[in-house]
Chain A
Amino acid sequence: MNGQYLDFEKPIQEVVQRIEELRRIARTEDLELNEEIEKLGKKLERLRVDIYRKITPYQRVQLARHPSRPYSLDYINTVFEDFIELHGDRVFRDDPSIVAGWARLSGQSVMVIGQQKGRDTKDKIFRNFGMAHPEGYRKALRLMKMAEKFNRPIITLIDTPGAYPGIGAEERGQAEAIARNLREMILLRTPLISVVIGEGGSGGALALGLGNRVLMQQNAIYSVISPEGCASILWRDDGLKEKSAKALKLDAESLKQFGIVDEIIPEPNGGAHSDFEAAAASLKTCLATHLKQLSNIKPEELVNQRVEKYAAMGAYSE
């Protein structure tokens, strides 16, 4: 969308630039080039379909991390209305790598909580690259409990490389914060929908992810470890990330087959970053459907469903 292209997107970039060039010429020279532009537009569409149809597992990882990909706040400001951000864990500080607050989804009050990455360098640092400290998870839990108190559904948007591995994070109990979120999310007596919109990085993603429904955008990933981390540990060579990305089966299609993800949210051809509005519209439709399905379920039943859902996950023989 805004000028950042991955290597395998270069052919797309060329066509986009040519279209822009023609538009500029048409404007400045007052020429009629619509036919030409339309032709290129069709070519662009075909190119997007072709390129995205055969991307490799690691290219999918790159897409999930695409610097132009919509982040939580992009969706919060388009899919939802009247967002009012609420801050702080009431213990230590506010963690800007998680944004949360009240919002409306087609008029209905909901609590929305999203992991937030930054766009430019300054913003990236402010958001800590989307890696939360314990206080981020504690803020999220505080607000999930608030939603429960007022019988409002919760929507979490997951997009993080992982929980932050740092000294302060360990001192303040990163493991405890994640563990507590897992236990408490299971018990929430209100509907909870989790959506992986980019990177679902391990425990740091799961700590917001115990939805009654877990949805995943088409080009998002969800994994126990990053392909780089896995390659460096198991293959002792972090160059083998393509191999490990394939082995980890971290794409939406695989996770749907495994029963980990309930529904894949389609993205526009060319990925969510090629058309924010289309991506937001398809997210909104999907959220509305699941929210409606969950709205008539009794609180105890929501908890039971959640326990049963996660109790069934595993692959073993007796």
Chain B
Amino acid sequence: MADLRCNIAGITAPNPFWLASAPPTDKAYNVVRAFEAGWGGVVWKTLGEDPPVVNVSSRYGAHYDIDRRLLGINNIELISDRPLEVNLREIAEVKKAWPDRAMVVSLMARMEEQAWADLARRIEAAGADGLELNLGCPHGMCERGMGSAIGQVPEMVEQVTRWVKAATRLPVIVKLTPNITNILWSAEAAKRGGADGISLINTVNSIISVDLDAMAPTPIVDGVGTHGGYCGPAVKPMALNMVAEIARNGFTAGIPISGIGGVTTWRDAAEFLALGASGVQVCTAAMTYGFKIVEDMISGLSNWMDEKGYENLDQVTGRAVRNVVDWNALNMNFSTKALIDPALCIDCGRCHIACEDTSHQAIRIVQGEGKRLFTVENEDCVGCNLCLHVCPVPGCITMHPEENGLPYVTWPEDARNPMNLEKV
């Protein structure tokens, strides 16, 4: 049995599955239920200075696939709308009752040292294991100069991190917003400010849908709407990229990362780990299915690690980072071709039309016995993978690298590169 214990910036937990700062971690009631269900830790819903914020009614919008499965939700909620005192008391009680679970508390304040320092100290006094600075909320709070309004300015990220580090001995995790042009600017700023770890991503700025009868963006609040924060399975690819960028960037490499964004299965978690995260945080999957979802996450990750021979999370963390490279480091001579297994083919024709209309016209149709026979013309196939992705049958179309005997040549070295032609 693989050892799933995780350690992020000195904060330990029995497993790497933590609930992200959001409604699931809003109060003791939820958090206790989460711990009972098996979650390894929580990041308590963001605390701010009193008086608490006031939320509007109608708060979430949804993005469905055609089977009405949630691809993502967006929300226009603010931070905790309960009094600070109540939150701190509950944090202390829950931590006492669940000493082995990670109790990280998220906080947010105005761009003033005193405000951040006071909050940090009070949370430390409540017995939290660590702090997470919410520099990412992209709606509502930013209009008040907080959240992403701070997170989008690297100098402010560094400054706030420095203030909080100076005010407390707790490990400080800086939660980054994806609503920037380059994640490294804010990640490096956090590191310069003394962050013990980084968590990402917070939600992505979005209008999730437009109600075409009301002619307003959803969720609709009394006839109008506002942009919100997008999260769930759909944001995972963006989050993975940002995590990988931080993990492979010289200055930030090695900083503990808590991966967030669309984690729905153990596989998603394993991918975040492979790209450099030491643990993950989950919000939408819990909001979609309830806390029980963690059972398969834990057993799936554990079984997969056993199967692969990984004994602990450290052996997984960052395992794929060395294989994330710049485009310019790719092998220009590599060539792979699609192969269609006629035994598995169900004759839908989607591979053909995708290639025919939008790619390289490489898939031929022969009238076979009873059903059509689809074959790939290797000459024409550029190995784009499109047919494989549109095929509804897993394993029916596979990609096969060609043995062409050519050396590994990158674009900067490639003779076809006009820059090189000039050199000759």
Q: Do A and B come from one complex?
A: no
